[in-house]
């Protein structure tokens, strides 16, 4: 899960002549017994900066504070005078849902958190349980949804992030982005809660659904919640929303 640490175990009890860890054809850690050198290296997009810890006793490598960007294949090469040992690891990082709260009429941004989108051949933004397509980006050419809900409301950013302007209650719900490369697909999820700016906003037929969605979206995808709200509770919700 994002924020955790993962250790790539070498399964050796002593350091041999040389040890190397690779990610995406880049060396990220290296031990040379002859030179008494223990080094870690970042990659061009900076995803491993201040995250790598190399055990100089066992040769194991720990990645701290992981994100979905660290998903992928890792390779360990252990060299000595007699033979070479190769070992591979597959790291899958589960991301947590990011919650976004916005008032009617305001804008909100769904951030990919990616610094280099060139490595991804395709980015897909989807909305809701029916996977309504919000945008599709192949290379540098974004294609935006023609759905009335998002028409003329989307701003696209260079890192694949989206801003939705002039928010309405109908924009509340679950969003996700799928970032696909030749090696893997990264997934990031968002939950958007839309609240009222004025009392009149609460008369909108979608207002209760939007607020209830955000209030209880610690629910599993596909689960449907039905609620009955008393007149007293309805007035309390209206008052709380206006105060926010």
| Confidence check: pLDDT of 158 > 50 | yes
| Confidence check: pLDDT of 223 > 50 | no
Query: What is the pLDDT, as a whole number, of residue 230?
Result: 45
Task: Kindly indicate the confidence band of residue 171, based on its pLDDT and cuts at 50, 70 and 90.
Answer: very high
pLDDT in tens, 41-64: 999 989 999 999 999 888 899 999
CA distance 112 to 176: 10
Pairing state between β 18-23 and 72-79:
antiparallel
CA distance 14 to 3: 30
In the chain the domains, ranked by start, together with CATH numbers, are 6-91 (2.60.40.10), 98-243 (2.60.40.10)
pTM for this predicted structure: 0.54
Structure token digits, residue 212 = 């209830």
| Confidence check: pLDDT of 75 > 80 | yes
Pairing state between β 185-195 and 173-180:
antiparallel
Residue found under tokens 């690779």: 22
């Amino acid at each position: 899960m994002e924020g955790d640490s993962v250790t790539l175990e070498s399964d050796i009890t002593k350091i041999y002549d040389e040890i190397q860890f690779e990610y995406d054809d880049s060396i990220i850690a290296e031990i040379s017994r002859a030179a008494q050198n223990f080094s870690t290296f970042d990659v061009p997009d900076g995803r491993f900066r201040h995250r790598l810890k190399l055990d100089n006793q066992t040769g194991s490598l720990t990645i701290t504070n992981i994100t979905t960007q660290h998903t992928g294949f890792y390779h360990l090469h252990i060299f000595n005078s007699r033979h070479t040992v190769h070992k591979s690891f597959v790291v899958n990082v589960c991301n947590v849902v990011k919650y976004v709260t916005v008032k009617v009429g305001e804008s909100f941004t769904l951030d990919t958190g990616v610094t280099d989108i060139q490595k991804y051949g395709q980015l897909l933004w989807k909305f809701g349980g029916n996977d309504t397509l919000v945008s599709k980006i192949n290379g540098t050419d974004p294609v935006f949804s023609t759905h009335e809900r998002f028409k003329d409301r989307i701003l696209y950013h260079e890192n694949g992030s989206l801003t939705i302007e002039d928010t309405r209650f109908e924009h509340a719900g679950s969003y996700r982005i799928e970032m696909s490369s030749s090696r893997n697909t990264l997934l990031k999820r968002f939950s958007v809660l839309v609240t009222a700016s004025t009392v009149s906003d609460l008369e909108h037929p979608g207002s209760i659904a939007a607020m209830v969605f955000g209030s209880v979206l610690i629910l599993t995808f596909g689960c449907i919640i039905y609620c009955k709200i008393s007149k007293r509770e309805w007035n309390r919700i209206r008052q709380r929303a206006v105060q926010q």
